Amino acid sequence: MSTPDPTDEDTWDVAMVAEYGPELFNYLRELEAKYCPYPYYIPQVQSEITWEHRATLINWIVQVHERFNLLPETLFLTVNVIDRFLSRRAISLSRFQMCGAMALFVAAKFEEINCPSIRQMAHMVSNNYTVDELLKAEKFLINELKFEMGYPGPMSFLRKTSKADDYDSEIRTLSKYFLEITIMDARFVSSPPSWLAAGAYYLSKRVLQQGSAWTDIHVYYSGYTEEQLVPLADMLISCCLDYETHHKAIFDKYSGRKFKRSSLFVREYLSKWRATASSL
């Protein structure tokens, strides 16, 4: 994307400063490469921690994140901080939950107006670590990452892509569900957030059966063609088929009214899809 969309009314709204949009999002695409974790840090960096341990930790973080009612950006930054830290520094399994808790604590400070206190975080880890231990861990973590917290999470790219459909709330909510399940999967650790956001949005339109799923305007705002997104959409579907072992906490979270029961909708959709496929 090199120039603003001339057919978009925001292009001519001075308050929207649309002329800077292309440069801003091109810069975000540079940052997503800069803040990309090492995809093979397990087992090449970590000797005690497995991908199963990571999945258990992220599952716990999703529940703590929801309990504090934090922003989606905080969740994605937390996971990125964990993966980048573990890409650089080997830790023991006994310190793994501490790492996750402090990653969430740091991410909340960066993204939220009101964030959890250090004593609340100590309570979340069942007071297995003292407040002093947690604060030392926080200092160690941010020093190891050189205070670089400007990760451009997928929500920024999702908002941009959503413009192609005038920010349709049903598509966006369903997209958030598909986006969140990617944090549970080792295959997506180093995936560009712009690609994940575009793939989640593409699959949402396909599931909702909204006509031609991917038009030129979607390519314009997302930066990805349908051919680039189909493999990702297929992977997301396979994750949803195995939701009980793949992302149970996220499934439960998105089964409520707050998220329009998106996970239940997807389960029903896939059930009908499988029944149709088996009858052919």
Question: Percent of the chain at pLDDT above 90?
Answer: 81
Report pLDDT for 8: 53
Nearest by Cα to 140 from 169, 112, 98: 98
Q: Pick the closest to residue 146 from 183, 106, 175 (CA basis).
A: 106
25 pLDDT tier (thresholds 50, 70, 90)? confident
pLDDT at position 23 is 78
For the domain spanning 41-144, the CATH number is: 1.10.472.10
Q: Which is more confidently placed, 6 or 76?
A: 76
Q: 14: pLDDT confidence band, cut at 50, 70 and 90?
A: very low
pLDDT band for position 15 (cuts 50, 70, 90): very low
> Do 41-144 and 154-279 have matching folds?
yes
Average pLDDT over residues 249-253: 96
pLDDT score of 213 = 75
Q: Where are the domains of the chain?
A: 41-144, 154-279
Higher-pLDDT residue of 72 and 272 is: 72
pLDDT over threshold 80, residue 109: yes
- With the C-alpha atoms ordered 252, 256, 258, 261, is the resulting torsion angle positive or negative? positive
Question: What is the average pLDDT across 122-126?
Answer: 94
The answer on pLDDT for 202 being more than 50 is yes
For the segment 181-205, the average pLDDT, to the nearest whole number, is 96
Q: Stretch 199-227: mean pLDDT, rounded?
A: 90
Mean pLDDT of the chain: 90
pLDDT of the residue at 192:
96
**DSSP letters for 83-126:** HHHHHH----GGGHHHHHHHHHHHHHHHH-SS---HHHHHHHTT
Residues 132-174 have pLDDT tens digits of: 999 999 999 999 999 999 899 999 999 999 999 998 999 999 9
Averaged pLDDT for residues 28-49: 94
- Nearest-angstrom CA–CA distance, 213 and 209: 7
CATH of domain 154-279: 1.10.472.10
Mean pLDDT of 84-106: 96
pLDDT band at 212 (very low <50, low <70, confident <90, very high): low
